[in-house]
A and B are shown apart, each in its own frame.
Chain A
Amino acid sequence: MLEDLVNGIENSRLVLVTDTADCPGRTLFLNWVKSLAERLDRLILICFERQPEFFKSWLPLGLQNRITFVDGQSITCDFELKNQDLFKVTTAAVPEFKGQTGVLIDSLSLHILFQQTPAVCSALHRLASDKRFSQVVAVLHRDVHDPHTCSLMEHVASSVISLRNVHSGKHICHVRHCRPTGKVFRTVESFTVDDSFHIRNLKPHQSASENVTLSQVTPEADPISQLSFNLSLTETEKVARSQVKLPHLKTGFDESSEVDSTLQSKIHYEADDADDFDEEDPDDDLNI
């Protein structure tokens, strides 16, 4: 799931990466910047924590030209700018929008300290629902804020990547992704970081205790295998099943399927041949 989110295979309007000082999310964020810069036409990167040089030193020169850097530190130092919300700061950064644009915020923590949390949530929601922006990605430090603030921020995000710990070079994270259809995925995944700070080996994580439990299970006779008919699904069948769009789920944000609420609805009924259609007015005897 995490790999799909980073590579844009899974669509998510607002991604929140939450971390702690022991398990920082900056490397994941860097990779996300690179992936978005490769996919989108333009990026707006608001730097609250590190200077633009930090990102420029790592990103290829060709991708740097697509990024508009906004100095977040100056926003917090300037009294007038300090009261501006993220939406105004972001839209002011780019004079005109052409093509797909992404918004990246290297840390929301400083901004939350100077603005009310609901105001930050509101600004993020406005950014995420604005059609000019394809995706918004932000980092939040869980250990700087109280749990209530963190849960508010997580509530507004469509995907939350919560970095938990680093164990022998493996970064373990909990992913909660809500598809536009409303389907929610929860996974625990791990990744490693190579010497050039690229994330590698993204895969589902199994804790050591789970591995031990699995290995200790004695190979008992599987009752399903003894059946005369097939009850289990193959991997391809499982994938096909997950892609079936159920009738009670929303169909996503496909613009062509959107219904114009200003038009009046009408019911067209085509009578069946077998219908016993009565042409007389059923209210004729009421003398209306």
Chain B
Amino acid sequence: MLAQICQFLAVDSSYFPQNEHIIIGDRSNEGCFLVHYFLNLCEKQNRPVCVIGLSQSFHHYNTVAHKLGTNLLSACDENKNLHFIEGLKLLGGCFDVVSTDSDISKPFLEFVNGISTPLLQYIQSSVDKLTQIECPVDNVHGPVVIVDDLSVLLTAGASAKDIILLLNGLRRIVSSQKVKGSLITFSSLEKEDEEIEEVWAYMSHISTLKIEVSALSSGFCKDVHGQMKIEWQDSCTKPRKSNSKHTQFKLSDKSVDLFASGMSAAVL
């Protein structure tokens, strides 16, 4: 899976992502494989990663990572290069009256109430811990912050404005001189949801790489699970020629097959 997606993105799997702000928009419910791809890629590089898991628990990511050949548990406990923020659990704690984790959930509760500073400080402290770890591959490798999934915050009651403010704060943390890392945000794009479309439109302007996954317009096909469009835009530090690519994909248990439109096994 790693090699195929890297080849499609035309990037070096040992150095990517570097000082990038990648956004993934999923209009098909099939695009979450890209989150696992990026997590796996960073783990293979022994890179410091901070995951804000808002749609799944740590157990889910670890199970998928096992299938792809990495162990997130040891990355968390032994190597200490992975910091997982149980966003789903903490966000749930905000609405749980008998919850004992009210202090830990507080940043999320305040965020839902429109105050983003405590949550940003919470993420900042996690990223600061990661920056103290020296990357064995190369010192130029900054930490990566992965947010999965941003639309959950909207569903939890946060406004589009608060999410844009959070994104802006995250960009600021990641692109600071001390950190010089990358930010990857995944977002489910529900149909007819104006607020998430507003956030997505804003994200499209500030991102450096935009990936949009959607279902086939012709309907379900057992040999083609969806299509993916990528668009390279200006990088964070210098202008870059805009370049876009399109592919179709088929997901299997442990990997993904990418092929040009109309070139699936069913057709050939």
How many residue pairs at the A-B interface have CB separations less than 8 Å?
Answer: 67
Q: Which residues of B in the span 190-207 have a Cβ within 8 Å of any Cβ on A?
A: 198, 201-202, 204-206
A141 to chain B, nearest CB (A): 5
Candidates B117, B201, B236, B237; contact of A21 at CB < 8 Å: B201
Chain B residues near A68: list those with CB within 8 A. Answer: none
Closest chain B residue to A82 by CB distance?
Answer: B165
Contact present for B206 and A143 (CB under 8 Å): no
13 additional contacts, CB 8 Å, given A49-B206, A57-B238? A21-B201, A21-B204, A49-B205, A50-B236, A51-B237, A53-B236, A53-B238, A76-B165, A76-B168, A77-B168, A77-B172, A114-B165, A195-B241
Q: What is the interface size of chain A, counting residues whose CB is below 8 A from a CB of the partner?
A: 27
Chain B CB count within 10 A is highest, among A26, A57, A77, for A77
Closest A residue to B238 by beta carbon equals A57
Which of A105-113, A117-125, A220-228, A269-277 has 4 or more CB atoms under 8 Å from chain B? A105-113
Q: CB of A89 within 8 A of chain B?
A: no
Type the 1/0 row for A35-55, where 1 means its CB is closer than 8 Å to any CB of B: 000000000000001110110
Give the shortest distance, in Å, between A100 (CB) and chain B (any CB): 26
User: Which one of A53, A57, A77, A144 contacts B202 once the chains associate, using CB atoms below 8 Å?
Assistant: A144
Known: A27-B239, A144-B198. A50 touches B234 (CB 8 A): yes
With a CB–CB cut-off of 8 A, which chain B residues contact A51?
Answer: 175, 236-237
A87 to B69, alpha carbons, bound, how many Å? 55
- Find chain B residues with CB under 8 A from A58 CB: 238-239
**Given A76-B168, A113-B164, A114-B161, residue A107 in contact with residue B237 (CB < 8 A):** no
> What is the minimal beta-carbon distance from B190 to any residue of chain A, in angstroms?
18
Give the distance in Å from the alpha carbon of A109 to the alpha carbon of B204 in the complex: 13
How would you classify the secondary structure of chain B's contact residues: helix, strand, loop or mixed?
helix
Report chain A residues within 8 Å CB of B114.
none
Instruction: Tell whether A109 pairs with B234 under 8 Å between CB atoms, given A74-B172, A197-B239.
Output: no
Instruction: Give complex CA distance A30, B163 in Å.
Output: 28
Closest to A195 in B: B241
Q: List 8 A-B contacts (CB under 8 A).
A: A21-B205, A49-B206, A51-B236, A54-B235, A73-B172, A76-B168, A77-B165, A77-B172
B239 contacts A109, C-beta separation under 8 Å? no
Main secondary structure, interface of A, reads helix
Q: Contact: B201 with A30, CB < 8 Å?
A: no
Within the complex, which residue of A21, A54, A73, A107 is in contact with B239, where a contact is CB–CB below 8 Å?
A54
Please indicate the chain A residues that have their CB under 8 angstroms from the CB of B71 in the complex.
Answer: none
Contacts of B235 in A (CB 8 A): 54
Cβ–Cβ < 8 Å partners of B198 in chain A: 144
B234: which A residues are within 8 A, CB to CB? Answer: 24, 26, 50, 54
* A110 closest partner in B (C-beta): B168
Chain B residues, CB < 8 A from A114: 161, 165
User: Which of chain A's residues 52-90 have a Cβ closer than 8 Å to chain B?
Assistant: 53-54, 57-58, 73-74, 76-77, 79
Known contacts A73-B168, A73-B171, A110-B164; is A54 also within 8 Å of B237 by CB? yes
Residues of B close to A73: CB separation below 8 A: 168, 171-172
For residue B239, which residues in chain A have a CB less than 8 angstroms away from its CB? Answer: 26-27, 30, 54, 57-58, 197
Chain A residues with CB under 8 A of B92: none
Query: Chain A 16-27 against B: per-residue CB contact (8 Å), 1 yes, 0 no?
Result: 000001001011
Residues of B within 8 A of A76 (CB): 165, 168
A79 CA / B120 CA spacing, docked (Å): 13
